[in-house]
Structure 1
Amino acid sequence: MTRQVRARVNWTQTAPLRRLEFVLRPFTTAGWDADMISAELHSWMLTWRPARPAEYIRAQLAKRAAVEHQAAQLEAAEGWNEDEASGTLRVSRPALVADVLTGVAQGMAAYSAHQAANGLDNLLDDDDASATASAPRCGDGPERRSDRDFHRGDDSLRPVRKSAGCCLLR
């Protein structure tokens, strides 16, 4: 199997077969075949040829193992438990959660009222069709109704910034 990998991945062809077999052992013990190992090595997208390919592979696998180990340590330190996280929500102070949710609902209502007061609640209603049809378009000139106007194109309405009489689509 190592011979097949070495033949398929051009930058490994200078590596001694036994050394390459040794560094590829984590893949082979995991049950990977030559196609999977070759695809993995190709996915590293090397645009250069390492002087010692086996050592390069060993170093890359060591880096990956260190990153995975560090991630596992962080999850353990945070006390992450997948079963507990995917279970039902249990809180020690239900009244606090209810107060927070009530505050969020009040804030959303105030925000919606503010948007409606500024005429930004629903721009696609028939009531607002005349206002949106008269909105300045790109090339209309330097006159500006506000810093933030709307541009109609391809049957969609999207906000744009007006600068020096021309739309800057973002």
Structure 2
Amino acid sequence: MPSTRDLATPLGRARMLFSMLSAPKLRAGIGRILAGEGAPEAPEVRGPLSQLDWLGSDGEVDVAGLREIAEALALMRSDAAILEVDRLDSIPVKTEESRQVSARIARIVFARVGAERTLSEAELNVAIAMFAQDVALVRRDAVDAGALTRSADGAAYRLAAS
């Protein structure tokens, strides 16, 4: 089976850029570099900007690096993203975050199989396994978060009414 594409690196680069653009000093520093005026002297600006590995201090841009970032962002917005992203190896430790992630997974599952369907535990487990390794945790968290309802005997699951 072909391995999935590394999306973490280009997405991390995009997050870094957008974080920097939210800070006025860093945004001005990026503008200065892109204008060919060189890197700012202030270490608190120069240091973070040096982490933009696609942008040289002389204003030279690694076009291939930017293209990779743009392609990763486009892929993540497409229907094909699910084919490129690995399953979650772990769910956040904090209960509220874990429940949010699990509820989102449950909603995606039912959006794909039909919101009106009732799934057996085995069917739900198979569907959740496409997204996460710990299917039992996701299933329980989704119920606890109110995203799923479970029959009294625990054999059937439905998407909760919104």
Larger Rg: 1
TM-score by length of 1: 0.23
Higher relative contact order structure (alpha carbons within 8 Å, sequence separation ≥ 6): 2
TM-score by length of 2: 0.23
